[in-house]
Amino acid sequence: MSLAVVGSVALDSVRTPFKSVDRVLGGSCTYFSYAASFFTPVKMVGVVGKDFPAKYLRELKGRGIDTEGVEVAAGKTFSWTGEYKFDMNVRETLKLDLNVFADFSPKVPASYRNSSHLFLANINPGLQLKVLEEISSARLVACDTMDIWIKSDRVKLLQLLKKVDILFLNDSEARELSGEANLIKAAVKVKKLGPEIVVIKKGEHGSILFSGDWHFVAPAYPLENAIDPTGAGDSFAGGFMGYISTVKKINEEEIKRALVFGTAAASFCVEDFSVNRFRKADRASINKRFKEIRNFTQFKDI
């Protein structure tokens, strides 16, 4: 099995009430790839500028992440500056410089085109469709989106949703896309748009997965020190897709396991800035948190 991802690679500057960092490794493609690499090799499609530190590319390759699909373009790397207040669920974008990402046209290497699993991270749905056309043989396709595409490029987004198996989005995006305030009703409507599985992310309150006539709720992993939630949703998807790409047969139980592995991966992401916490983690530590989540959600019947 093989897993490919397309998305942003960025240099982030993040402000919190506790600490600030400048120009650290970020981007949806990056967080996804780091989390997924605990389970399987990843093939990465993105773009960076000439200013992108070579050490980051070396580090990605060292984790089994194939960067052949990462173009180094003339100009500066996409950069984002954001600030979190004490409520870590709310962030404010202070500055956004698209730079080379503004003209991003994904270049999918020939060696990626037979990938069995594909994740379309949060970028313009037109670009997501372009990549999907080039990796058309993928047996499982998942995507993420955000409010800006729901508002500004809904037609292309709806075209995309007819072609994907799994959609990841947060609770406010689910409400906006469906027009329903109730998340159960929202999920039912979104599933009718195409995806067989809808995963609604609720930040520190966990996630809900809807599939067919069943759904599954996973709590977030309880943390004492949540430092920076940037990239948590992408890491969650990375853990999910990383695990599911390793199973021989996808069924209800494996999908539930994938959701919990995604939860475990995301918990490491928020414990430090950038991908710093991932650098100190390994598959054994991911497995440990997976088992802890299982243990604290089990109880005996009456």
Domains with residue ranges and CATH for the chain: 3-296 (3.40.1190.20)
Chain segment 114-170, per-residue pLDDT in tens: 999 999 999 999 999 999 999 998 999 999 998 888 998 999 999 999 999 999 999
Crossing angle of helices 252-269/28-36, nearest 10°?
120
Residue 68 CA to residue 97 CA, distance in Å, equals 24
Task: State the DSSP H helix or E strand holding residue 82, giving kind and residue range, or none if neither.
Answer: strand 79-84
CB 109 within 8 A of CB 115: no
Q: Which of 196, 208, 108, 120 is nearest to 156 (CA)?
A: 120
Residue 90 CA to residue 15 CA, distance in Å, equals 12
In this predicted structure, what is the pLDDT of residue 18? 82
In this predicted structure, what is the pLDDT of residue 22? 95
Percent of the chain with pLDDT over 70: 100
In this predicted structure, what is the pLDDT of residue 213? 87
Sequence-separated (6 or more) residues with CB below 8 Å from residue 96: 79, 80, 81
Residue ranges, the chain, pLDDT below 50: none
Q: Which of 193, 123, 189 is nearest to 152 (CA)?
A: 123
In this predicted structure, what is the pLDDT of residue 225? 87
In this predicted structure, what is the pLDDT of residue 146? 86
Neighbours of 73 (CB within 10 A): 17
Residue 103 CA to residue 231 CA, distance in Å, equals 23
